[in-house]
Amino acid sequence: MQLNYPKLFQTQAYINGVFVDGDSGTFEVTNPYDGSVIAEVADCTPQQAEQAIQAAAEGFKVWSKYTAGKRSRILRKWYELQLEHADDLARLLTTEQGKPVAEAKGEIRYGASFVEWFAEEAKRIYGDTIPGHASDKRIVTIKQPIGVVAAITPWNFPSAMITRKVAPALASGCTVVIKPAELTPLSALALAQLAQEAGFPAGVLNIVTSNNAPEIGSVMTESKIVRKLSFTGSTKIGKLLMRQCADTVKRLSLELGGNAPFIVFDDADLEEAVSGAVAAKYRNAGQTCICANRIFVQSGIYDAFTEKFAAAVQKQKVGNGLDEGVVVGPMVEEKAVQFVEEVVADAKNKGGKVLTGGQRHGASEGLVYEPTVIIDARVEMSVFSEEIFGPIAPVFKFETEEDVIALANDTNYGLASYFYGRDYARIWRVAEALEYGMVGINTGMISTAVAPFGGIKESGFGREGSKYGIDDYVEIKYLCWGGVK
């Protein structure tokens, strides 16, 4: 792979400040567009995961004693290095994950923004003084880092999902052990190279690459040294990790699956709603937890919306993420494409009509699936209840505000939601009625470092980003001073 800074192409795990081989050998990382092997990456054993946890425990003794200002300066340097090498990091990300390179560069900048934000928040982890309950008592609270944090990150945002977890952990004084997705470990290892150059002490940041996620995950959840686990991924795996963490009563942050509704009321700006729907649905080929999963359009504008929406979707260029102008790249692996094919077939069998897309791109047997719009969608179809995680947009018709609120909330998930309309009274009613942790109002893009990201119901708990993002990595300690006379 041609990079301006070849040191970013690392294939060894990163433990205790050193790049090391995997004791189980290596596993292949492939390009999802053409299936070519990009790298052979270190396949770590559970024993190496234990070593990484021990290294983090030793690193914590050093890092937690640094002043907030010193931690802030090192984090700031890491942020600056990520921006400096954004082009290389984006190319690496696209090659292993598939998203268009312009989108990948956007992810690098987005991920770096969390490092910048929490570099600043490191200096603002304040306690309180509380009026005492007796004349000779004084009450103070302080916030201290939890300790060693384990992070299990997904393949769909292999850079940003690391920085979004690691930056607040490090800012608060914690140390981390990361298990990146086996499909996309190279972005994580590139971040480790830059972390080393930024000046993090040994053991503060560790990356355990492995093709055996369950074994490494079990080491993390069973460890008494690990005090907190942060996971982004499926609800099924999140529930499993939650059960595994019960015996050691770990602090948990879980960002799990979603089934985001995208509602268009009849008074919406149609052009803006179409643009927002395209952005919310097809970013990363529909492979994001906050993608619009079900599009609900009020009956009075249903035909006009679907016509304009399908026309906009048809204009999207698909193909190799490294090619200029491509906005929808390949899906990540064959089983993901097969699942999309199944939900499209189910929708067609139950009366849905494909306006555009509905198949793999051209005659290809590869992983590029055409952006698809399905109209006449109904609740009986699997596209209503399943998290699609692909470039498929089912469009449902609704009549009243009460109807669409019931439909939107008819899911176990509660991560992101969106709606378009101009009646301000209705905007307040709908925003309050939607059972989701995040609501986009007249926008299809809601992710930012300055706002709290997270869900409710079976989409998990905890918040990443914003001033609230530091809270999951600190303990509040109450100090009661007596004898003050």
CA 9 to the chain's CA centroid: 23
Q: Which residues contact 428 (CB under 8 A, 6 or more apart)?
A: none
Beta strands (DSSP E) in 353-399 are 353-356, 372-375, 392-398
130-139 in b/e form (b: 16+ CB < 10 A) is: eeeeeeeeee
Annotated catalytic residue within 96, 107, 121, 255: 255
Q: Which two tokens stand for residue 115?
A: 């490092």
- Catalytic site residue from 44, 174, 245, 289: 289
Q: Which helix (H) or strand (E) holds 293?
A: strand 292-298
Residue 318's DSSP bridge partners are 328
In 131-234, where does DSSP find H-type helix? 160-172, 186-198, 213-222
For the question of residue 120 being annotated catalytic, the response is: no
The dihedral of CA 44, 244, 253, 57: what is its sign? Answer: negative
d(CA 339, CA 390): 9
Query: Are the C-beta atoms of 121 and 470 separated by less than 8 Å?
Result: yes
Instruction: Output Rg (C-alpha) for the chain, integer angstroms.
Output: 23
Tokens of 460: 């998990």
Q: In what order do the strands lie in the sheet with 128-130?
A: 128-130, 138-145, 474-481
Helices and strands counted in the chain (H then E): 14, 20
Side chain identity at residue 395, one-letter code = V
User: Under DSSP, is residue 407 helix (H, G, I), strand (E, B) or coil?
Assistant: helix
- Cβ(382)–Cβ(346) below 8 Å: yes
Please state, in angstroms and rounded to a whole number, the distance separating the CA atoms of residues 150 and 228. Answer: 6
Note if 289 is an active site residue.
yes
Q: Give the active site residues.
A: 255, 289
